[in-house]
């Protein structure tokens, strides 16, 4: 039986679906929403909400000494450098789950590059791993934090909710998200130009989280993803629409129930994630997060004999997401 809280989230999502079913490209590029910072989270004493906006990279910067953590693959983008203030310290990373996001490595990086330098803000420009690293470091430093997610997965998932997650090296390999905390960013800036050059593989990986938002919160979004008119590989404006639609739904979900109650927003935001975490760990992180989420959702729908199974399988086939493995 659907709880009253979960149903209230679903009911309030109707207005979001209506907005995105008729939204224009100009409206997409100027889109903005915000997320409530839960009272139980450490940053609630400093910020009540954080903005999630479609805007240029420069919107992520403020006055004060700034450290930028950026994915090195982005260095070749000719338009990116002018967006970063010349006064900012930029550290280019080659992100991976077993080093960049590993707690011991992050503690070492903090001592070598952050501690004692007086940074007022850390800006993450990259995918989920870079965002996780930046959030961990900003939490330790107690400074401002801004995200510029550059992948579909990061825009739709890692940049949302204020999660701080780090893996831990253990005897048998790595324990995913052994460190868990909360440290909301001051803002999230989605720059649509990153989607223009993103590889097809990264689109496939990211679509798993958008499928999740459709399965657990919005049938109109899920139907849009499965429709013949949606082709994220060749229509990057449509891809932007799907990303921002999912983000708007997440904002709606978490603003109704910011504490992620088990019978409320937790059902949506953590949909199939316990199973997907196990898929990732078993593969030693060879299976990307978004792929694992989609596979875990499919397995859950099969177990529950859900009518959504065919639609989800249509989406997975369209987005080149394998059913297993």
Q: Decide which of 197, 216, 242 is a domain's last residue.
A: 197
Same domain, yes or no: 175 and 224: no
Q: Supply the range of the domain harboring residue 294.
A: 1-23+199-325
Q: Are residues 85 and 142 in the same domain?
A: yes
User: What's the per-residue H, E or C state across the chain?
Assistant: CCCHHHHHHHHHCHHHHHHHHCCCHHHHHCCEEEEECCCCCHHHHCCCEEEEEECCHHHHCCCCCEEEEEEHHHHHCCCCHHHCCCCCEEEEECCCCCCCCEHHHHHHHHHHHCCCCCCCEEEEEECHHHHHHHHHHHHHHCCEEEEEECCHHHHHHHCCCCEEEEEEEECCEEEEEEEEEECCCCEEEECCHHHHCCCHHHHHHHHHHHHHHHHHHCHHHHHHHHCCCCCCCCCHHHHHHHHHHHHHHHHHHHHHCCCCCCCCHHHHHCCCHHHHHHHHHHCCCCCCHHHHHHHHHHHHHHHCCCCCHHHHHHHHHHCCCCCCC
Residues 129, 264, single domain; the answer is no
Distance CA 232, CA 195 (A): 10
Per-residue pLDDT at 142: 97
Same domain, yes or no: 55 and 172? yes
Same domain? For 103 and 224 the reply is no
Residues 149 and 287 reside in one and the same domain? no
Give me the number of domains the chain comprises: 2
Q: Are residues 165 and 243 both part of a single domain?
A: no
CA distances from 212 to 45, 141, 159, 216, 293 (A): 31, 33, 16, 6, 8
- At 271, which CATH number? 1.20.1090.10
The confidence score (pLDDT) of residue 97 equals 81
Indicate the residue among 197, 228, 263 that finishes a domain: 197
State whether 216 and 142 are in the same domain: no
- State the pLDDT at residue 173: 75
The answer on 49 and 190 residing in a single domain is yes
What CATH code is carried by the domain that includes residue 108? Answer: 3.40.50.1970
Statement to judge: residues 52 and 186 lie in one domain: yes
Q: What is the pLDDT of residue 120?
A: 98
Statement to judge: residues 42 and 186 lie in one domain = yes
Q: What is the mean pLDDT of each run of 10 residues along the chain (325 residues)?
A: 93 97 97 97 96 98 97 97 97 90 94 97 97 97 98 96 90 82 98 96 97 98 98 98 98 95 96 93 90 97 97 98 91
**Buried/exposed code over 301-319 (b: 16+ C-beta within 10 A; e: otherwise):** beeeeeebeebbbebbebb
- Considering the domain architecture, whether residues 184 and 313 belong to the same structural domain is answered as no
Residue that is last in its domain, among 179, 197, 215: 197
């Amino acid at each position: 039986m659907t709880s009253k809280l979960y149903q209230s989230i679903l009911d309030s999502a109707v207005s979001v679906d209506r907005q995105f079913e008729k939204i224009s490209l100009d409206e997409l590029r100027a889109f903005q929403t915000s997320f409530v910072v839960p009272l139980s989270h450490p940053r609630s004493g400093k910020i009540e909400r954080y903005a999630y906006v479609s805007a240029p990279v420069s919107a992520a910067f403020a006055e004060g000494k700034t450290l930028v953590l950026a994915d090195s693959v982005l260095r070749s983008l000719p338009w990116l450098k002018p967006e970063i203030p010349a006064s900012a310290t930029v550290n280019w990373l080659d992100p991976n789950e077993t080093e960049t996001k590993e707690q011991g490595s992050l503690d070492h990086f903090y001592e070598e590059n952050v501690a004692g330098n007086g940074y007022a803000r850390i800006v993450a420009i990259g995918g989920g791993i870079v965002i996780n690293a930046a959030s961990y470091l900003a939490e330790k430093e107690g400074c401002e934090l801004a995200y510029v997610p550059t992948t579909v997965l990061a825009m739709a998932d890692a940049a949302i909710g204020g999660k701080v997650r780090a893996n831990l090296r253990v005897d048998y390999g790595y324990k995913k998200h052994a460190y868990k905390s909360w440290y909301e960013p001051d803002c999230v800036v989605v720059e649509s130009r990153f989607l223009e050059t993103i590889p097809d593989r990264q689109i496939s990986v990211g679509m798993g989280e958008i499928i999740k938002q459709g399965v657990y919160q919005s049938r109109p979004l899920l139907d849009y993803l499965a429709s013949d008119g949606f082709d994220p590989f060749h229509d990057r404006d449509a891809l932007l629409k799907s990303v921002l639609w999912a983000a708007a739904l997440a904002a709606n979900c978490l603003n109704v129930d910011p504490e992620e109650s088990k019978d409320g927003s937790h059902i949506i935001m953590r949909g199939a994630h316990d199973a997907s975490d196990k898929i990732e760990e078993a593969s030693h992180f060879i299976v990307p997060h978004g792929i694992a989420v989609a596979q875990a959702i499919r397995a859950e729908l099969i177990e529950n004999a859900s009518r959504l199974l065919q639609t989800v399988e249509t989406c997975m086939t369209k987005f080149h997401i394998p059913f297993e493995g």
